[in-house]
Chain A
């Protein structure tokens, strides 16, 4: 339907409003690629060994979930927050502080089912407070404030010994065991991570079409008009930070269970910026983007070292590869890898239609 033809639309009125279901379906429910990916993720333990399962896929899902919280804020709310990893890290610290760890003088020794809700509550409070500061600004100033919060938290964890145990951090954090299962064993842990990531992914996608998410996109597009429609724009933004903090907090819980320790190195400024890179490389227009970005990031981080050494370069230069990839993505595809993928698919579909034949991709 072209725009030029629409002038006539105003003259003849449609006889009746066609009833359309107001609620929209789940994303990509008709997309075979999504079903294949879901199936592969579910049977992953049959395919992959422990190293791949945890070091690649569980790590990807955890980092992707942190980046998802940024995607929620940036993609729907237009707020680029660099403190999402700090919130995840704060939650991880709180799990270690309230739960059981090797540092008996710090940890309170609560069972995990008490420590985790407590940690999540505090993480949401932390993120909401930071958000309340950040929403008073826009654009680059939001980035600066959240980066400042992230940097301050990093240095605070380094210097505070009473709670955060300084630069050594908290080690030997205990992980849940119940129903006769060690939930940190590779396969159970993979499923815990997959379930959490899947829950966050579908929640974000669902909320994006609910009044709260629609209003958030309205705030992104035109905050002044949203106010002139009766919305309290700042309250909406702060609420978005609270939701994003909860998602980041969940990822933080998984992170501390994954490594069984948490130290300032995990919440460094560089790690905060990695989350931005992951989200942008994957694409911040759709919730799947951060997970794709995280997979690219984790694969590069894990294998670029060997690759670089093989071709005679310093293995620590893997960040150079990530940086170049980041530049390429920002330069050629502002909506990240999913943007590339969508354009490629459209061109494939166009080709297939021209040939009048079947679909050219699998």
Chain B
């Protein structure tokens, strides 16, 4: 018993993210069934699958937006299965949303500043940031990294779709992220914006791993080193991008509309 537990904890310590037998039910509907995934620190992985394959539910379970019905989730060795989302975020997990989840009433700068503040101390501070506030500078840098400096004082509600998608990414990169979940970051972007997105993703520091949900294979397979294919709430196939791309079953699923 002990040696098994020791071995498991040793595996846990070596993994950025470790899901074991994660199942999520919505009433009688199983959105996820017995999903087991291990992602190494710094690893970049794509999750592919048709609509309803359970990709976003997987993200929601990992971040704690919806806790899993059963199974365990470990983040850098720590069992976070029953942690509220904010505790996981404070440990270095980040996510973006498929449909931009921003603060439309606040400016771009304030959105990013909130993201920086959320993962540092002083969330309840009653003191306004001064001109040399470290977090305000961090926010400035992030705004610049996603090319939004020109609109940083505009309210988010006034931004174009592409800019909102970029802001969405900026919010997920605040503080010191260790692992990021990108939920269809390229949705609705123009070809130019896609190229920029690829540049942002590939230029992330090497220690930051991520999982990306992306329908656009051109984007997905250029920014990852491994692929997990999901179907009907289960892991269908895992492998290298080339393997997955040339797999006849995967091609049938994606091009033939799936086999029921």
Contact = CB atoms under 8 A, between A and B. Distances in A.
A54 to B, nearest CB: 32
B1 interface: no
B149 A228 contact: no
A17 B149 contact: yes
Contacts of B106: 214, 217-218, 221
Interface in A205-233: 206-207, 209-212, 214-215, 217-218, 220-222, 224-233
Given A10-B163, A10-B192, A218-B114, A225 B122 contact: no
Contacts of A24: 128
Interface residues of B, number: 59
Counting chain A residues whose Cβ lies within 8 A of the other chain, the interface size class is 35 or more
B147 A9 contact: yes
A22 B130 contact: yes
B85 interface: yes
Contacts of B184: none
A211 B154 CA distance: 19
B90 to A, nearest CB: 5
B129 A22 contact: yes
A226 B125 contact: no
Contacts of B128: 23-24, 206, 209-210
Contacts of A225: 97, 101-103, 171
Given A11-B192, A210-B126, A211-B124, A229 B114 contact: yes
A236 interface: yes
Contacts of A28: none
Interface of A: 1, 3-4, 6-7, 9-11, 13-14, 17-18, 20-24, 206-207, 209-212, 214-215, 217-218, 220-222, 224-233, 236, 239
Interface of B: 63, 65, 84-86, 89-90, 94-95, 97, 101-106, 110, 113-115, 117-119, 122-131, 133, 136, 140-141, 143-144, 147-151, 153-154, 158-160, 162-163, 166, 171, 174-175, 190, 192-193, 196
Given A13-B147, A210-B126, 13 more contacts: A10-B192, A17-B143, A17-B144, A22-B133, A206-B126, A211-B124, A214-B113, A221-B102, A228-B85, A229-B115, A229-B119, A230-B86, A230-B175
